[in-house]
Amino acid sequence: MGGWVAVAGLGPGAEGLVTPEVTAALDQATDVVGYIPYVARIAPRAGLTLHASDNRVELDRAQHALDLAAAGARVVIVSSGDPGVFAMASALFEALEVRRDRQDTDIRILPGITAMLAAAARAGAPLGHDFCAINLSDNLKPFAEVERRLRHAAQGGFAMAFYNPRSASRPHQFVEVLRILREECEPGRLVLFARAVSTPDETLTCVTLAEAEAEMADMRTVVIVGNQATRRVGRWVYTPRSVSA
């Protein structure tokens, strides 16, 4: 039948950041599957069925996509940003472990502009040296694990990007994150709050760690913490390429 599944990254929001590869897959698709706000970004057209589902049903959504493809559909699972960064690609492979009857499915993962790199570009180059990406959501890991990673990242001299820093269901966790960072880093360390980058709602706020407040982040924010050498030049924030610079 020629069914397939593509897991596509739509980037952070702007159409100019959607790759031609993703656009081509969407043009060929019979079905689009994804979280409600991401499916809302896809223009309806004849021959295309949009399947929007709620958050936290990633495995169901992935199995649904595999079933549609087995019946001959050309399915795009849409993620914001990059599908391989705290998004749907891992969920699809988790589903594939459970559904071994679907392991011959024609699957492609189509990369996208992930939020931290879009945010970094808007601010300058705060991730211009070694860095790490940490998902602060504790839906899928205990907070002790988050804390362990924060301390190793800080002690290792990495810049850090935090996804899902704060939500209504766990407003106090990011307070704890800032407390841990203040134990590990100097007060002048630069912290960037980048919200809804590349959309009309975009805001960028760069403060020192001493000035940072948990309320500066929400679920549409990526937070970037520089390394010890990260600094301002004019209106920009950047991390030098050299350790000794």
Could you say which residues in the range 87-126 bind a second copy, by CB under 8 A? 87, 89-94, 96-97, 103-104, 107, 109-114, 117-118, 120-122, 124-126
Decide: is 82 part of the binding site for a second copy (CB under 8 A): yes
Rg (CA), the chain: 19
Taking CB under 8 A as the binding criterion, the range among 44-52, 128-136, 174-182, 209-217 that sits at the site for a second copy is 128-136
**Of the candidate residues 106, 145, 186, 201, the single one contacting a second copy (CB under 8 A):** 145
Site string for a second copy, 40-69 (x = CB under 8 A): ------------------x-----------
In angstroms, the CA 86 to CA 6 distance is 17
Instruction: Using DSSP bridges, classify how beta strands 236-238 and 124-125 pair: parallel, antiparallel or unpaired.
Output: parallel
Residues 155-184 that bind a second copy (CB under 8 A): 155-158
Taking CB under 8 A as the binding criterion, the range among 12-20, 38-46, 63-71, 184-192 that sits at the site for a second copy is 12-20
In angstroms, the CA 205 to CA 191 distance is 8
End-to-end CA distance of the chain: 58
Give the number of residues written for the chain: 245
| Nearest distance in Å: CB 178, a second copy | 18
Would residue 198 be called left, alpha or beta, if left means φ above 0 and alpha means ψ between -120 and 50 degrees? left
Decide: is 13 part of the binding site for a second copy (CB under 8 A): no
Q: Which of 76, 94, 69, 89 is nearest to 39 (CA)?
A: 76
Residues 183-242 that bind a second copy (CB under 8 A): 233-234, 236, 238-242
